[in-house]
């Protein structure tokens, strides 16, 4: 199966449709699939639901899709760095489903393992638990969380071989593996593609069975909040 494509646009061809559900990797601006997000913007696909730790920032990441009003709903843990997100949500123009970070990651991972739902203590007694099934195990109350089965996963990795085995770079791994697992189709952008068999199997973070299409590109890798020491 051919997995390597020339551009983000080619890799997304025939995959995008209005109203689709997309799982996107990254944490803040670290490890986000910036090239694929730009290609989705250019394609004009609308009424999108995104499952992502956050919505990027204004003018970058998922933020560029908020500006063009292509996103209908966000399933996220944190959205505090995006003024346009806040404006749309407070104006009733954007749906929001808040998830604790661990719950969001597990909802993605479980879907990738074929598990439709799971019980967790996280959120019990808060608005997160409203409307959800409660069940007691060994004297403790848990709530049922449903797994997230996405139409498409878009993620960013550091290195791939031609069959899609992936290595992530340090903290850029973050939400990318679980996001990759939960999509019917997973498209990944990487900084380097190496020949099949050249990656030590013990170093692979995500096996190629989860990856369908790969592109190599140049990434801006913008820093969300730069902190520096004063000059001596």
Residue 16 has pLDDT above 80, yes or no: yes
Annotate 201-219 with b (16+ C-beta within 10 A) or e (fewer): eeeebbebebbbbbbbbee
Q: Is residue 112 part of a domain?
A: yes
The pLDDT of residue 222 is 81
Domain that holds residue 56: 8-116+148-216
- Taking only the tens place, the pLDDT of each residue in 109-158 is 999 999 999 999 999 999 999 999 999 999 999 999 999 999 999 999 99
pTM over 0.85: yes
Residue 12 lies in a domain: yes
Confidence of residue 2 (pLDDT cuts 50, 70, 90): very high
| Number of domains forming the structure of the chain | 1
Q: Establish if 136 belongs to a structural domain.
A: no
- Has residue 134 been placed in a domain? no
pLDDT band (50, 70, 90) for residue 1: confident
- DSSP labels for 145-179? EE---EEEEEEE-SEEETT--EE--GGGGTTHHHH
Share of residues in the chain with pLDDT > 70 (%): 100
Q: Say if 51 falls within a structural domain.
A: yes
122 found inside a domain: no
Which strands make up the sheet holding 159-161, listed edge to edge? 166-167, 159-161, 192-194
Q: pLDDT tens across 68-93, in order?
A: 999 999 999 988 788 999 999 999 99
In a domain, 180, yes or no: yes
CATH number at 49 reads 3.40.1080.10
**Strand 134-137 and strand 140-146: pairing?**
antiparallel
Determine the pLDDT at residue 56.
87
Average pLDDT, the chain: 96
How confident is the model at residue 223, as a pLDDT? 81
Q: pLDDT tens digits, residue range 151-194?
A: 999 999 999 999 999 999 999 999 999 999 999 999 999 999 99
What average pLDDT does the segment 10-38 reach? 97
Contact assessment for residue 146 and residue 107, using Cβ atoms and an 8 Å cutoff: yes
Q: Which residues pair with 187 in a beta bridge?
A: 154, 213
Does the pLDDT at position 6 exceed 90?
yes
């Amino acid at each position: 199966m051919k997995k390597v494509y020339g551009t983000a646009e080619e890799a997304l061809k025939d995959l995008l449709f209005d109203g689709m559900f997309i799982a996107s990797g990254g944490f803040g601006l670290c490890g986000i699939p910036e090239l694929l997000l730009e290609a989705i913007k250019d394609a004009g696909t609308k009424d999108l639901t995104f499952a992502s730790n956050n919505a990027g920032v204004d003018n970058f990441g998922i933020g560029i899709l908020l500006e063009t009003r292509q996103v209908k709903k966000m399933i996220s843990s944190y959205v505090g760095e995006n003024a346009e997100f806040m404006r749309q949500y407070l104006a009733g123009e954007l749906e929001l489903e808040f998830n604790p970070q661990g719950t969001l990651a597990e909802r993605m991972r479980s879907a990738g393992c074929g598990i439709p739902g799971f019980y967790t203590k996280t959120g019990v007694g808060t608005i997160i638990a409203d409307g959800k099934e409660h069940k007691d195990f060994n004297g403790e109350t848990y709530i049922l969380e449903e797994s997230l089965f996405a139409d498409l996963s878009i993620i960013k990795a550091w290195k791939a071989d031609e069959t899609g085995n992936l290595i992530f770079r340090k903290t850029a791994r973050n939400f990318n593996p679980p996001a990759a697992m939960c999509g019917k189709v997973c498209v990944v952008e990487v900084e380097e593609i190496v020949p099949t068999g050249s990656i030590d199997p013990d170093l692979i973070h995500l096996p190629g069975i989860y990856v369908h299409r790969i592109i190599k590109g140049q990434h801006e890798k913008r820093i969300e909040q730069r902190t520096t020491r004063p000059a001596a």
